[in-house]
Structure 1
Amino acid sequence: MINPSAKKFNGIPLSILDLALINEGSDVGQSFKNSVDLAQHAEKWGFNRFWLAEHHNMQGVASSATSVIIGHVAGATETIRVGSGGVMLPNHAPLVIAEQFGTLEAMYPGRIDLGLGRAPGSDQATAYALRRTLHSSGNEFPEQLAELRQYFKYDPSARVRAIPGEGQDIPIWLLGSSDFSARLSADLGLPFSFASHFAPTYLMPALQLYHRLFRPSKTLQEPYVMLGVNIIAADTDEEAHRLATSYQQQFLNIRRGVTGKFKPPVDDPDTFFSEFEKTAIDELLEWPSTIVGNPETVKQKLDEFIQATKANELIISSGIYDHEDRLRSYEIVADMMK
């Protein structure tokens, strides 16, 4: 489950979560080039895995055909693990996901992760367009998961078989931002990834549940938790906070119901955001969900986060507009790994 060539920070591996952001003034093709370039740098720097998230109907996010982009990134790299963070299983037939990831595993053996979520990754209208019904909800997720896992088992007598897929040992992760997936992953003995980068309030309760209820399985003998964290790093605190205004704008636009591409940073946020918006932004940038600052600040806050949560791994999301600035942010983190 851990890339042998991965480096570690304070004894744990670090990974990357990418959304293939589409910048204002740019296009989808460039966002895919940026994702590949970031993955290649991440591999060189010693990050453990590179995951892509499934989102739909968002003008600033290009990672909707998640399995296709995973194959594109895996084909452009050699050792880093590549996977989904995650595939929203209610949007898909389990057989299709088994076949897609079975295909990926056959192409890039030992490097593919399948992270699964139960949210739609979109609004209700888009969920209907994907599923052709709104009767399917996250409540059926355990049954869909069981069906998916069955397709990966070798059973020549089965009426329906996933080919490729059957007999392959693809790591399955459950993703969540509440206690639902914490309970389910604990019950099934699966690794658990919590979206603390946007749901920090529920982090500690979910972790406590997962550890308390965990049942060893053939897949996993001990609990394994990977936590999401936003990191926007730069050589100075001032520059890091300026870069963070792009992420702040994205966050506020989602709350406003405004669509659009990922926006460049603003030099004077005090004149750009209202007082109410500044309060919401302050909550967004609170530790532990987001770490913004220079290398020393980032290292200190990362260490505090690991000490507080006892995480086995962290997965980092960095919403930064300029590609070179984003590379520099991850390079700063990479310099802390050994």
Structure 2
Amino acid sequence: MNKPRHVLGISGGKDSAALAIYLNDKYPTLNFEYYFCDTGKELDETYQLIENLESYLGKKILKLENDELKGSKESPFDFYFKSFRGYLPSPQARWCTAMMKIKPFEKFVSGKPTISYVGIRGDEEREGYISREANIQSIFPFRRNIWSNDVLTEFFTPGNQSKVQEFLTTYHRGNDLDRFIAILNEPIDFERNNKTETEKVLKRKLHGSLDLGIPEFNRTVFDFLKTTEYPLATEVDFELLDNEDILVREDIFRILRESGIGVPKYYEKVEFEVDGQKGEYARSRSGCFFCFFQQKIEWIWLYEQHPNLYKEAMEYENEEENFTWTPNESLAELIQPARIKQIKLGHIQRSSKEESKKSPYLLDILEGTERDGCNTCFL
């Protein structure tokens, strides 16, 4: 097996940008390849962020696209929108993700062993995009646990227990070794229908193992991986094994500001007033300006801050076929004065319930919208 490539996708969002800066500064010997899947429907701030990152990293961020787009004068989104005969993407039919993100990425990798670095933070409970291709392995540097669920499943599978125990004695002694063996011995059934219970046991095993030492756990997993076909199997060592950093949202904003890259303007809060009540709104994500994962308050933000883009988003809708960006409501209906008022008042009410968290970022109170979005697009 060839040595793996190290790749990092830049979505235009804060997390992937901060991850690129963080890894570049902390692990300068790793030869990262950066890429960006352009839909042609990003906000201007996204493209500016890409330019700023290229200057900071001293490397070109490769723009990926599929072969069928070559020679086309249309944006990638418009090209595929026509291919799907005007059928808008949705949470149930994410052709945008499949055609403009995953397909060009897997073509870029081209079957070669690849380590893909993902910017999911230490304060998030989500896994992110895991490729089904055996040659692609995901790593999560911001989290306490850097390994993906597929790796953990292999590591904690009962049939691999004896193999895992061979590596434990290198990093554990005495009581810690006994505790780790007890963790391995806890029954877990990956074949059972009760997925919720399996995930609960897996999480318990993971955190119990990490409590005995993050570097020790990472090195045990790494040694185990050398007996598999994972891309890291060919590596003599891996620099992130001893990293105990856990980065959360506040760290992401700090990295962007201290580096001089800056936070994209669409994350900045804008004040509004309705019925004498004051509120604030912003955009919670990168990605297409008409992303169907947006909350209603974010659509209102787009309408009031970028009316031309909102109008463009409206032109894609076909109300006769019920092809609208939001279920059962067109963008024309969404911006009726009474509806705008209702959405804003509802947002103010939800926001006030979250004030006790004392977060300086509106992103914390947009109903967890980041976690609901497409992980491939919004890192």
TM (normalized to structure 1)? 0.34
Per residue, is there more strand in 1 or in 2? 1
